[in-house]
Amino acid sequence: MDYSTDIKYVKGVGDVVAGLFNKLGIFTVRDLLWNFPRDYEDWSKIIPITQAPFGQNCCIKARITNAPEGMKTRNGGMLFKAVATDGEGILMLTFFNNKYVVNQLFEDKEYLFFGKINQNVMGGREMLSPRFIKVSDNEKIHPIYRQTEKLTTRKIESVVANALAAFSGAFDETLPDYLIEKYRLMGLEDAVRNMHFPENDEKLRLARRRLIFEELLSMQLGLLFLRQRSRSKTSVKIANDRTEEFYSWLPYDPTNAQKRCISECVEDMKNSTPMNRLLQGDVGSGKTTVAAALIHNAVSNGYQCALMVPTEVLAEQHSNSLAKIFAGRINIALLTGSVKASQKKLIKAGLADGSIDLVVGTHAIISDDVQFRKLGFVITDEQHRFGVNQRTALAKKGLNPHTLVMSATPIPRTLGLIIYGDLDISVIDELPKGRQPIETYCVGSDYHERLYKFIKKHLDEGRQGYVICPLVEEGETDLVPAQEYAEFLQKKVFTSYNVGLLHGKMKPKQKDEVMRAFAEGKIQLLVSTVVVEVGIDVPNAAVMMIENAERFGLSQLHQLRGRIGRGEFRSTCVLVSDAQNEESVKRLDVMCKTTDGFVIAEEDLKQRGPGDFLGSRQHGLPELQLANIVSDTKILYAAQKQAEDILLADPELSFPEHRKLRETMESMFGKFGEVGIN
């Protein structure tokens, strides 16, 4: 038996049970052994009945004094009650609709019972439907696995035990000896065995530590490998730094943070390896100015530039903003799906012959028939809306051009190591002067009438506003869908104004039309779902109301709030929520106290964990099976440093001691073959 052996050949499986394992994504012995428990039940720590805490899982060792007796309930079900004692305390045992229990629990026999102890109406201690086994050698920590209806965790436990018995001594160590010694790591076989069947809590901790280190090391090696492969030599060099000339054109002084980021990027662009940098900045921090400075440097040194964004309206806004900054000094073209065929033909010709210096557009830029004469600098905005492959496709339009990825989504540093491990990071951590702070308040739904008047006051003054809803259509909840709400607001509340609607099920062209109408002031109040989270710059929008705010994550709320406060007007965001649970109240309180996106992102990561925080933004990166970057930060930093040291000594991971590491990395990053790991 080896790793690739089909699961059906493991003792206790066969074709039928193998099909059930397949539903869990388990096809081979390796899949089975690396399908680690989601939790554990510690049957080794036996607690006396009188000392057992209420409401917590615990294990009781007790003798049955009254065997189970059945009685009918009011709704026709069956209730079975038994009594047990450990010599000091008495424990009532209650089972619902379990007729088999009368043939499993016998008077005067001793058993282990696992479950939560509650206080019954008589003040005594009671366990409802506990799991139980005969007292034997099973006083140990039991694994709890993800299961299907017909494949129980106990069955999976039995199959894993059989596989481990057949696999004894056959594990092939994947980490080199020097790493195991340096970090005092448990061996692979011991780690896998103790993940499934821990000898004790300490052995489980050491097993997790070893496997988490290897997982994070493989992740960091893969990301650094991608970065290394993307940094082969480039002929694109910025010999003449024209940054000061650019500053002299601006009608305002850039912030120190903007200047620092521009300097970091220009230094990268002077090197013989292409820049591969992420520019992070909160909403309104001035990323466009940084990009413009770099575009000027690239064009002044004889290269073309491309800026790719996710929507047509955003492309138009960037094109207009850059046209104002450059004031005719460079030739800018806008290339989107809706550009007329005749105009597209001219733009493509201009890119091919080099007469167009900068193209701003959507996915249309990476079409096969778009060719550049000398593309030296590429930018993608709102990176999480693009996959790695699209970023790579744009870069392939040139010969190893410099690359800048811009994002207004604040990412905590620890998470940045995972998502953007193949990029250097620059952060604009300062807002431009004159930027209006956004006041944020949280109120209950009983404030609606007052809020409508508050919004109307802004519209009367010529401002615009947003109303954000969490749902689009009627569902199983009592929330009002966006479409229905927009109709109500138009007909009953804001009758003299134009109320628009924007949601995710609209076609891209419809979305663009609505956003364009809002940007042009034809729509005064926009009712929208989170689709507006990455939206457009409407300086005239000064008020936002977010319905059922507790249903959004902190970072999402921050992104939504960033749609206002982009002009000279005092802006207000009102969170509407009737939620009373502690977590929701805390989350909304954070929003009211700070507008710092990075503070909010860190808090969001703590509250929701990395899985929920990333959501779709993980854009195809390998998923972490065991590691948690909130609680495993120290291991993450150690793994990153170790990955750097390994690749410095062995860039191709070709040394014999690194062969298995490379295999693990390639297995994890298999889908990235087209961008350098193959």
Encode pLDDT of 514-524 as tens digits: 988 999 999 99
Residues 308, 309, 310, CA angle at the centre, nearest 5°?
Answer: 130
Q: What is the percent of the chain where pLDDT is above 70? A: 90
Kindly report, as residue ranges, where domains of CATH 2.40.50.140 are found in the chain.
45-139
Report the mean per-residue pLDDT for the chain: 86
**From CA 492, how far away is CA 544, in angstroms rounded?**
19
H helix intervals, 111-250: 153-166, 177-182, 188-196, 201-229, 243-249
Q: DSSP 3-state assignment of 511?
A: helix
Among all chains, which residue has been given the structure tokens 């070893």?
A: 210
Whether domain 438-594 has CATH 3.90.1170.40: the reply is no
The pLDDT value recorded for residue 273 is: 85
Q: Is the predicted pLDDT of residue 398 greater than 90, yes or no?
A: no
Relative to beta strand 125-128, strand 110-119 is antiparallel
The predicted-structure confidence for 537-547, as pLDDT tens digits, reads as follows 788 999 999 99
Token pair in block for residue 237 = 């060099």
**Nearest alpha-carbon partner for 324 in 332, 313, 334, 315:** 332
First to last CA, the chain: 27
Backbone angles phi, psi at 166, to 5 degrees: -75, -20
**Is the pLDDT higher at 109 or at 392?**
109
Give how far the C-alpha of residue 383 lies from the chain's centroid of Cα atoms, to the nearest Å: 13
Q: So what's the pLDDT on residue 286?
A: 87
- Is the alpha carbon torsion for 491, 494, 500, 501 positive or negative? negative
Indicate if the pLDDT at residue 560 is higher than 80: yes
Cα–Cα distance, 673 to 322 (Å, whole number): 36
Phi, psi of 407 (to 5 degrees): -145, 135
Instruction: Judge whether residue 467 has pLDDT over 50.
Output: yes
Asked if 651 and 205 count as a contact pair (C-beta separation under 8 A), the reply is: no
Query: CATH 3.40.50.300 spans which residues of the chain?
Result: 243-428, 438-594
**Three-state SS for 653?**
coil
CA 255 to chain centre: 30
Contact yes or no for 264/279 (Cβ under 8 A) = no
State residue 451 phi and psi, 5-degree precision: -70, -40
What is the token pair recorded at 476?
């199983």
Predicted pLDDT of residue 608: 64
- Euclidean distance between CA atoms 352 and 354, whole angstroms: 6
Contact 337, 364 (CB under 8 A): yes
pLDDT over 90 at 499, yes or no:
yes
Q: What integer pLDDT is reported at residue 331 of this predicted model?
A: 96
Q: In this model, does residue 652 exceed pLDDT 80?
A: yes
DSSP state, residue 185: P
Q: How far is CA 296 from CA 323, 326, 361, 378, in A?
A: 12, 8, 18, 13
Q: Which residue has the higher pLDDT, 70 or 207?
A: 207
The tens digit of pLDDT for each residue in 9-53 reads 999 999 999 999 999 999 999 999 999 999 898 888 889 999 988
Q: Is 243-428 a domain of CATH 3.40.50.300?
A: yes
pTM of the model: 0.64
> Any idea which of 208-212, 554-558, 622-626, 634-638 has the lowest mean pLDDT?
622-626
Q: What is the DSSP letter of 131?
A: E
Contact 400/232 with Cβ under 8 angstroms?
Answer: yes
In the prediction, which pLDDT does 389 show?
62
Q: Decide which of 434 and 6 is more confident.
A: 6
- HEC readout, 362-430: CHHHHCCCCCCCCEEEEEEECHHHCCHHHHHHHHCCCCCCEEEEEECCCCCHHHHHHHCCCCEEEEECC
Pair type for strands 358-361 and 541-546: unpaired
How many of the other CB atoms lie within 10 Å of CB of 330? 20
Distance CA 277, CA 274 (A): 9
Q: Any bridge partners for residue 528, and if so which?
A: 468, 502
Better pLDDT: 56 or 658:
658
CA pair distance 573, 543, nearest whole angstrom:
6
Residue-wise pLDDT for 636-651, tens only, equals: 889 989 999 999 999 8
Q: For residue 133, with 0-12 CB atoms within 10 Å meaning exposed, 13-18 middle and 19 or more buried, which class applies? A: middle
Report long-range pairs for 263-269 (Cβ below 8 Å, ≥24 apart): 264/424, 264/426, 265/290, 265/294, 265/404, 265/426, 266/238, 266/241, 266/293, 266/294, 266/297, 268/402, 268/424, 269/236, 269/237, 269/238, 269/294, 269/297, 269/298, 269/377, 269/402
pLDDT at 476: 42
**pLDDT at residue 671 in the model:** 46
From the candidate CATH numbers 2.60.320.10, 2.40.50.140, 1.10.10.60, 3.40.50.10190, the one assigned to the domain spanning 45-139:
2.40.50.140
Whole-number Å distance between alpha carbons of 211 and 193: 12
- 10 Å CB burial of residue 112 (0-12, 13-18, 19+) is buried
How far from the centroid of its chain's Cα atoms is residue 64's Cα? 50
Instruction: Kindly tell me if the per-residue pLDDT of 512 is higher than 90.
Output: no
List the one residue out of 235, 384, 403, 242 whose CA is nearest residue 309: 384
Query: What is the model's pLDDT at position 676?
Result: 41
- pLDDT for position 413: 66
Percent of the chain with pLDDT over 90: 47
